[in-house]
Amino acid sequence: MQAPSAPFLRAHDLACRRGDRILFRSLSLDLAVGDALHITGANGMGKTTLIRSLAGLLSPYAGHIEKEGAFGLLDDRPSIDPDLPLGKAIRFWARVDGCNDILPAAQKLGLDDLLDVPVQYLSTGQKKRAALFTLLNNDAPIWLLDEPLSGLDKPAIVLVTSLIENHRNNGGIAVIASHQTVAIEGLKTLAIEDYAL
């Protein structure tokens, strides 16, 4: 399912703060179909704040954001109920996104053997893959990924990288905040330190 008009994400002169401290200022970005942006920066520089501001969950201190297309957010919280078996937990999100068959996406992420396991018994990497499942099913054109590679083993990192590539090739946009290297061709980079006060 593709949005009727081409997705884009623009930010003009963005400044964000946490508490009383301005994290960064005069940050602008312009992303169109097929773009992928890697936001780099040390811990505490405001990568997560930038991602959440772009998503509209935080209001920026200054500047404004324009976008076309829905957001899919992946962060350190998988948003799945820890008490439920994995299959039940992700079926809720599949239902919210109007998708009935969870098996194809689960197989793609190697989750099909884990569907009966309660979420609280899963490892960090397995939970991350479950979060990726909800992202894939959501089918939003603009991906906002906050540390998508943390806690993943090498094959899973390759898998996530190829998922991002696929998403770009299908006309999506990806914003990746990570301190790890992301091996994607034609990746734009934005060092958040350049905008710090």
Partner 1 sequence: MIGALLRRDLAQFFPFAGSGAALPLVFFLAIAMLYPFAVGPDANLLAKTGGGVVWIAALLAAILPVESLVRSDMERGVFDQLRLRGMAEEAMMAVRLLAHWLSFGPPLILAAFPAAALLGLDGPTLHLILIGLLAGTPGLAAIGLMVAALTASLRAGAALSGLLLIPLALPILIFGTGALARQDPISLAFVGAISLGLVAIAPFAAGASIRAARDV
Q: Where does this chain bind partner 1 (CB under 8 A)?
A: 52, 55-59, 70-73, 75, 77-81, 83, 92-93, 95-98, 134, 138, 140
Query: Could you give the angle at the alpha carbon of 162 between the alpha carbons of 156 and 164, nearest 5°?
Result: 105
Nearest distance, CB of residue 83 and partner 1, angstroms: 6
Nearest distance, CB of residue 133 and partner 1, angstroms: 12
Nearer to partner 1, 150 or 187 (CB): 150
* Cα separation values, 148 from 14, 19, 62, 85, 131, Å: 23, 26, 27, 23, 10
Instruction: Give 19's strand partners.
Output: none
Nearest distance, CB of residue 163 and partner 1, angstroms: 18
Nearest distance, CB of residue 28 and partner 1, angstroms: 23
Nearer to partner 1, 82 or 110 (CB): 82
Nearer to partner 1, 63 or 187 (CB): 63
Nearest distance, CB of residue 56 and partner 1, angstroms: 8
Nearer to partner 1, 82 or 153 (CB): 82
Nearer to partner 1, 40 or 147 (CB): 147
